Structure 1
């Protein structure tokens, strides 16, 4: 038995059997094993030598990365020195083919005479450098004394990823590179880049220039009509050139991050069809590139000419992205156009396919074989495994499972590898708290603790089946996150929880993680990462309620926190919206002293498709032509307390103040604010705006 210190495995034990250290180092993710050693520790010189052996390119790259990171975040001024001769005070990087831990594992030893990082591969050396940087940044201004310790580390999962949606809202290359930097210091190693969707095509394809001259641009709809800097916008879009993409790929590779490009097919393809209408089922451009969010009807044709075009596109994609996996989407395909197309039905009959899911599976499998012939591997969302057995999906295809755990279990049972990415938990466009300073997004609350305490491996799997779980991934969809600072706040710090679940052993200690994250947040300031917060301030006392402080009347309904038009005085206003159930609930309103009810209402663009299953927003029946906001007591159909007509709303105004006298008395009641008016068909080309309650006040 080793008696020199305490072994830490996944944070289970208290670090501190020696006097040298009373708590585990503040490392995120927590290493697999930390053993405190006796000794006086190592005093890091102001200008430390990062020593590498001659011709050890992997060690030199890792040492150079650490040098640059330390120089930009601490007072240390290290230098990389090539030498076979050790010297007291060295920080040595050494490639060792016999080192355990696989390609990403490493050992880090701090002794009285220096530091040694050893690994069998370049990634392990790099991650050892990340851990040393964290050891040296545990205190404000940096740490110059390190306690003697031995760290043996390797990841739990091979796939530890984040997805960034650049199709709905595009981020500058400089931001994407910062995003990769932030991933690297958390040992995240897969960057899933969502580059195409209904709302935009963001990757230059030389053979098909209309993909970017047409497909990359859409008509701006509020709030996109005003840029973050306040300038007006009529046409939203942009794309990444192939040179830019090559530079980003190289930038990621230097940080041991593999980029997985996503070309979303055969649905989510309105931008592709707008650019080249012959690729659609109907053979003509359905409309300009979509300005709507949600489930759109356009779907690719499945004839040989369309498949050849897609293969040509994928050929250029593969030339840009050297990683093994190519993501082909495959999610949320509306089958209506296939079902109503005589040509598509004839093709299904010829192929022996009985339904639209089987056709999609055949289509994706066909492209998967093309990828395999070029040394690549298909990955797609859950839906690519749907359809009749025998439709041709090869077991080499991997499933990115965004449905519940049953989707992953089904894939594993069929012999597929899976990446756990299930909604809503791993969807980072769900808000982490319900406050006005949180960016807009889905109304569900997903906290770092929820992510940290979730085991991505489906329950009940055999040891053999568990090997099919490649890892886990967080998704940052950007329909509502149009600003880079919002993306950052939504992703971090929750991505740190994903990183620890993906890297560290499965035992969890939330309190220990929180303690280490306090130090990690200080590091965020060093690297320019303005992370979000999870501390929710209580609503301000008093009878006024902002929209986000109200509840929805229909639990479980599709609901969002959306960005309202800017106020005259500036600032971002957020409103709670349930498009199919427009009703707001003010709980336990004190009506005893109230004599007047004031409601601030706001108009929002209705730029969302609600899908074919329930495409119509059904409003309560109005009593006047313009409708009203009716206020009911205790139930959505309870006694009517007040009615606020909308007919006086100025045509050019985003906001309107409504008021009604109250009888006084009556105690405490729940107030239901029900929007009345004509039903809204989300499939219509022209739709009226959504009306939302921005605030309620009892006077």
Structure 2
């Protein structure tokens, strides 16, 4: 009798431990319980879409099963074979919310909309990916109910300073989808190079596309409009919106090399840095560019930059056109000219039925709050965040500390940026980021759309360097964006991160191994901190 009782007690304890087992998914779901049993994932698995609008998602899942797990013919099993069911449930206010139930005979992914179903698919694929490499793959049974903390879960890539190309961008989009990141901010124009084909102004790419941050004579590299359409479609299939950035009125050197008639000058350190706000033709020129840009990107928003204009706008003081503008408008300083310029270009974007995004310098301008989004990046200037929020703007949080991924992630690293007091962006600092720890955001939580990491490429001269800076911090970013701060636990996350290292290796990424730091060494040259624009 004692033996039977002891066996029952052990069984009950095992069930309790099983129910409490951490779900091996990044980002961590809101609610999850481990159920008994496993699903055998093999060629007999069927896929069933309960609504015709879910058919593209069924196709995506089928393709991913083939690509990732070499499941040759998913969807062709018999009626008795395990089935993956995609279905709609009654409306949920959160379009990203989903439920996932896995038993030994079926996987049921349900949501009110396609975004939620897609998120459920990515959770299932991650459970399968981390289930080991045995054939056939056995996926643990789970009951999951999930929804994100933030709607905006973003990543920005700078391709002006280093051009990565179509296949690398697609790989990044794949990993963004894997971690449920859904906004790809694409920095396509800046001083080193112009990377977006504009048919009306072909010299922007053939001349402005020459060079990069380390080699000003490198052959022109850029994306054709067909390339852009292909990448945007690829992102849309993964429910990722692509937001292009056409930086203005500063960071314009590449464009000014191509079309110097619209050059507003710069400084010795930053030559030809600005567009000319005192020349009427500048506004039409940029309007033409934005019109073509809007036709390529259906996200309904364009980022206009607006940052660091003061680095090169001193030349405006000697420009007769700017002097006339200031006199006519009654302006007293260059900042007023800058805001005037930005408001005019924002009106162009609004007329194209797009919203405007911009860096936090634009908080001083006057824009319609229902059509404008401010990206707060200067962590040392909380007053700009406060100003943007008090004026009613929606805000995306992307402070340099800890969300700039060109900053180093380990004290031993020599290549990359540190903040002036020696701070840098560790995996833990990314993971722990919360807007609740930013006093200037207090009381304005409803205006915070979400968070975004930014990867500037001054220190990047090859794709390996990109991998090293992005992985695994992209996973910490994902959990900071998706999971409520109260539910986060860095030590538990680290345990879930361990299987991800194998996935990075399988994808042939040159990642920073948090657990074996010497595994991949840094590539590139030690960084001169003075070479950066802050």
* TM-score, reference length from structure 1: 0.68
- The Cα shift of 1:358 comes to 1.9
d(CA) in 1 for partners of 2:527, 2:115: 45
| Paired residue secondary structure (1:429) | coil
1:506 corresponds to which residue?
A: 485
Does 2:44 match 1:47? Answer: yes
Which one scores higher on RCO, CA 8 angstroms, separation ≥ 6?
2
2:6 corresponds to which residue?
A: none
- The Cα shift of 1:491 comes to 1.1
d(CA) in 2 for partners of 1:358, 1:80: 62
Counterpart mapping for 1:13-24 below 5 A: 18=16, 20=18, 23-24=21-22
Tell me if the contact between 1:296 and 1:609 (Cα under 8 Å) persists in the aligned partners: no
Q: What do residues 102-139 of structure 1 show as CA deviations (whole Å, max 9, x unaligned)?
A: 22111101234311001121121111111001111223
Tell me if the contact between 2:459 and 2:524 (Cα under 8 Å) persists in the aligned partners: no
Q: Structure 1 or 2: larger helix share?
A: 2
2:209 to 200, 213, 216: 216
d(CA) in 2 for partners of 1:32, 1:299: 47
d(CA) in 1 for partners of 2:407, 2:141: 42
- The Cα shift of 1:529 comes to 3.4
Tell me if the contact between 1:195 and 1:261 (Cα under 8 Å) persists in the aligned partners: yes
Stretch moving more, 273-282 or 460-469: 460-469
d(CA) in 2 for partners of 1:373, 1:33: 43
d(CA) in 2 for partners of 1:363, 1:160: 30
Q: What do residues 472-494 of structure 1 show as CA deviations (whole Å, max 9, x unaligned)?
A: 11111111201111111101111
Counterpart mapping for 1:493-642 below 5 A: 493-507=472-486, 508-534=488-514, 574-575=525-526, 577=528, 579=530, 608=531
Tell me if the contact between 2:414 and 2:526 (Cα under 8 Å) persists in the aligned partners: no
d(CA) in 1 for partners of 2:294, 2:176: 23
CA, structure 1 residues 471+78, in 2 after alignment: closer, same or farther (shift >3 Å)?
farther
CA, structure 1 residues 295+428, in 2 after alignment: closer, same or farther (shift >3 Å)?
farther
Counterpart mapping for 1:326-341 below 5 A: 326-334=302-310, 335-341=313-319
2:276 corresponds to which residue?
A: 301
**C-alpha RMSD of matched pairs (Å):** 2.9
Tell me if the contact between 2:501 and 2:513 (Cα under 8 Å) persists in the aligned partners: no
CA, structure 1 residues 516+574, in 2 after alignment: closer, same or farther (shift >3 Å)?
same
Tell me if the contact between 1:409 and 1:458 (Cα under 8 Å) persists in the aligned partners: no
| Paired residue secondary structure (1:107) | strand
d(CA) in 1 for partners of 2:77, 2:281: 56
1:105 corresponds to which residue?
A: 97
Q: What do residues 75-94 of structure 1 show as CA deviations (whole Å, max 9, x unaligned)?
A: 544523699xx866211111
1:421 corresponds to which residue?
A: 398
Structure 1: gaps of 5 or more residues: 1-14, 226-233, 539-547, 549-562, 564-571, 580-607, 612-699
d(CA) in 1 for partners of 2:146, 2:444: 24
- The Cα shift of 1:535 comes to 5.5
- The Cα shift of 1:534 comes to 3.7
d(CA) in 2 for partners of 1:535, 1:64: 36
- The Cα shift of 1:62 comes to 2.1
Aligned length: 508
* TM-score, reference length from structure 2: 0.87
Tell me if the contact between 1:431 and 1:443 (Cα under 8 Å) persists in the aligned partners: yes
Tell me if the contact between 1:103 and 1:120 (Cα under 8 Å) persists in the aligned partners: yes
Counterpart mapping for 1:29-428 below 5 A: 29-37=27-35, 39-53=36-50, 56-58=52-54, 60-74=55-69, 76-77=71-72, 79-80=74-75, 89-96=82-89, 98-100=90-92, 102-141=94-133, 144-218=137-211, 224=215, 234-281=217-264, 295-296=270-271, 298-302=273-277, 303-334=279-310, 335-386=313-364, 392-395=366-369, 396-404=371-379, 405-428=382-405
1:453 to 423, 427, 432: 432
2:9 corresponds to which residue?
A: none
Tell me if the contact between 1:402 and 1:421 (Cα under 8 Å) persists in the aligned partners: yes
d(CA) in 1 for partners of 2:205, 2:141: 56
CA, structure 1 residues 81+102, in 2 after alignment: closer, same or farther (shift >3 Å)?
farther
d(CA) in 2 for partners of 1:163, 1:408: 19
Larger Rg: 1
Tell me if the contact between 1:170 and 1:237 (Cα under 8 Å) persists in the aligned partners: no
